Amino acid sequence: MRRRQADAVKVVAALDSFKGSLTSREAGEAAAAGVRAAVPGAEVVVVGVADGGEGLVDALLVVEGGREVVVDAVDPFGRPLHAGHAVLADGTIVIEAARTVGLDLVGPVDTTVPLRASSYGLGLQLAAALASDAPRVLVGLGGSATTDGGTGLLSALGARLETTGPAGHGNLLPSVVGVGTLPDLSRVEVLTDVTSPLLGPTGAARLFGPQKGADPDQVVLLETAMAGWAQLLAAAAGRPVAEVVHAPGSGAAGGLGAALVACGARLVPGFARVAALVGLADVLVGADLVLTGEGSFDAQSALGKGPVGVADLARAHGVPVVVLAGRVEHPLGAVGDRVDAAFGIHPVPLPFAEALDPANARAGLRHTAGEVARFAARLATHDEPQADGVVRPLTG
C-alpha cells in the first residue's frame, strides 16, 4: 500500500542565513526552488529562522504586522551608519547587533580589529528603542566584531566608566577600572546564538577572539581584562560574579551578554524565541522532510545555532532533517547525532570568495536541495513491503 502520492509530499525549508552571502529567506527560497524543480507538485513551505545573530530582523519582518524603523548609529569603528530594527504588531522592538557591530562592517579582519572594535553603536540603537513606549525590546547577539565586554554599549547608555586610557570609540575593556550606576534594562530580552560563558576555553576571548582577528597575545590580554570587568560588573549590579560569568550566553558577542544581564536583561535562547514568533512548530505538522542549514556547519553549531535548533524541533515532531551548508566540517562530534544528514552545497571546493558569491550559493542550494528532496520523495511514496516481504517498484 502506497504511503502517499508524490504531489502530497511536504517539505519545510527553514535555513539560517549564509553569513556574507544570503539571508535566511533568500537561502530558503533557493532551496525551495530546487525542491519544486525536482518534485513538481510538492508542497514547500519557507520559514525564515535566526538564532539571534545575522538575519534576525529580516526573519521577523515577515511576521504579520512587522515593520522596519531606521535610526542613526555608528559601526564598530565609530563611523556613522543607519541601522534598522523591526517593530512587531504588539509594539515589541527587535534589534540585531550585527547591523551595528557586525564583523562584516569592519572590512579586512586582522589584529587591528580586536582593540578598535566597540559596541557603542549598538548602545545608541538600544537607547533609541528604550526611549520609545515599546513593551519589550529583544536584542539579538551574534556575528559581532567586538570583544569589548559591552563597555561601549554601556557608555552609550550613559553608564560612567572610569578608564586609564583616552575616551573614544575604541575597545575600552583593557583600560576600564571602574563603573558607576548601571542602566535599567529589565525591559530587554537578549537572544543569544551561543550558550558560551564569559570566560574560559569556550568564552568570549578564547573561543571567538581569534575569529575576530585576535592573535595569541591579544587573546590573553582580552581574557584577563574580561575577568576584571566581570568583577566590576557584578559589584555595580550587586550580584554574585558567578551570575555574570557563567550565565549561558554571557560570552555572546564578545561579552555583550554579560553586560546586558548585569543590567537586568534576561538571556534567552535566540532560536527558541524566534521559532515561537514565526510559528515553526505549527509549520512542521505533516512535513515529510525539513531542510535547514547555514554557511558553515561544524561542532560549534551545537552551541545554540539555528540549524541545530531546527533539527531538534523537527526530530521532536518525528520529521527527518537534512542540513545544507556552504561548508561542512568533519568530524561533527555530538552535533552530527542531532541531524539525519549534512551535505555541502558546492560539488567541488571553491575559493572562499567564490563560495560566498550569492549566485554560487543559490545554485548550490537549488541543486543539493533538489537531490535530497527527490530521494526523500521516493522514500515517502514508495510502496510498503507486501506480505511476501518484497517491495514492489513504484508505478503510475
pLDDT tens digits, one per residue of 338-353? 889 999 999 888 888 8
- Give the number of residues written for the chain: 396
Fold of 56-271: Glycerate kinase, domain 2 (3.90.1510)
Q: How far apart are CA 125 and CA 329, in angstroms?
A: 35
Mean pLDDT of the chain: 89
The dihedrals phi and psi of 159, each to the nearest 5 degrees, come to -70, 140
Interval 41-76: pLDDT, tens: 899 999 988 888 888 898 888 887 889 999 999 999
C-alpha cell recorded at residue 326: 556552504
Query: Was domain 6-47+287-381 assigned CATH 3.30.9.90?
Result: no
> What dihedral do alpha carbons 285, 287, 288, 289 form, nearest 10°?
-120
Q: Which amino acid is at 294?
A: E
Evaluate whether 318 touches 288 at the Cβ level (below 8 Å): no
The dihedrals phi and psi of 177, each to the nearest 5 degrees, come to -125, -5
- 3-class DSSP state for residue 193? coil
Q: How far apart are CA 125 and CA 81, in angstroms?
A: 11
Q: Quickly state the pLDDT bin for 8 (edges 50, 70, 90).
A: confident
Q: What is the pTM of this model?
A: 0.84
Closest CA to 252 of 144, 351, 354, 343: 144
Residue 126 has pLDDT above 50, yes or no: yes
Interval 233-254: pLDDT, tens: 999 999 999 988 998 899 999 9
How many C-alpha atoms does 146 have within 13 Å on its Cβ side? 40
Closest CA to 29 of 20, 17, 19: 17
pLDDT at 40: 93
Cα Rg of the chain, angstroms: 22
- 3-class DSSP state for residue 98? helix
The residue ranges of every structural domain in the chain are 6-47+287-381, 56-271
Using DSSP bridges, classify how beta strands 67-74 and 321-328 pair: parallel, antiparallel or unpaired. Answer: unpaired
pLDDT at 304: 55
Residue 230 has pLDDT above 90, yes or no: yes
Evaluate whether 200 touches 97 at the Cβ level (below 8 Å): no
pLDDT at 328: 87
Q: Which has the minimum average pLDDT: 69-78, 201-210, 376-385?
A: 376-385
C-alpha cell recorded at residue 202: 569556550
Per DSSP, which regions of 27-92 are E strands? 43-46, 67-74, 80-87
What number is the average pLDDT over the span 384-392? 46
Q: Residue 173 burial by CB count (10 A; 0-12/13-18/19+): exposed, middle or buried?
A: buried
Residue 335 has pLDDT above 80, yes or no: no
The Cα-based distances of 76 to 22, 95, 154 in angstroms read 22, 16, 14
With a CB cutoff of 8 Å and minimum separation 6, the contacts of 44 are 10, 11, 12, 13, 32, 35, 36
